[in-house]
Structure 1
């Protein structure tokens, strides 16, 4: 048997040094706001939070504790390693809350693997096109029954 390597046939490695860009997520909001691309992403996240009436400003009642927040940054890449888009999310530091004191229960919407398999099998049998969708800013349809106080931005 003659393999490619025995025959001296080698696939050339495609190396490209054009447009070398440091692809590091910022570790703070100050770093993000110093970069114009990240500034646009942070502004879009903030605008979406305001448009969805995510919070209202108020003074902290006596005896209540305000939880902190953090900005999270992520670079989404294409298969070839180039930047597809940047994501910024404002998240509350829920780890500082005490169960049964600050909240009663937690819920995270998760799809079961069996559901995904059923949907994919229906798509394949029907010959339907399949596309992936990434929701830019998703909110649960429901109101909180308890008041949650977060430090202001």
Structure 2
């Protein structure tokens, strides 16, 4: 099994999704997020991580479903130094050989997705960290 094909199966903002392990530094226990007054859009605040402040994503910026979301229990730390609060982690899976399918145009997460991955009987979105960061940069510039 190639490391480049391994995906973390997680849940956040009321939605199950996949995240390539190659974009992940680590998954750590959740910690209280300290808000930043007048902070950048899309960032709910920071946590202290290995002695440094780590910005934490506000899932609301990508159209999460707060009505069906559980409180975060863990934090996925991406390589580009961004924390993703997760409701849970189901484990890792291997991406199928066939590649990814296009996400529907009406999917609120489409701007941050690499595509959809067919795993057995379900199709799960695959988060693209570079697209997520690009969205956050666009939000900051539009501010």
Q: TM-score, normalised by structure 2?
A: 0.29
Q: Which structure dedicates a bigger proportion of its chain to helix?
A: 1
TM-score normalised by L of structure 1: 0.28
When you count strand as a share of all residues, which structure comes out higher? 2
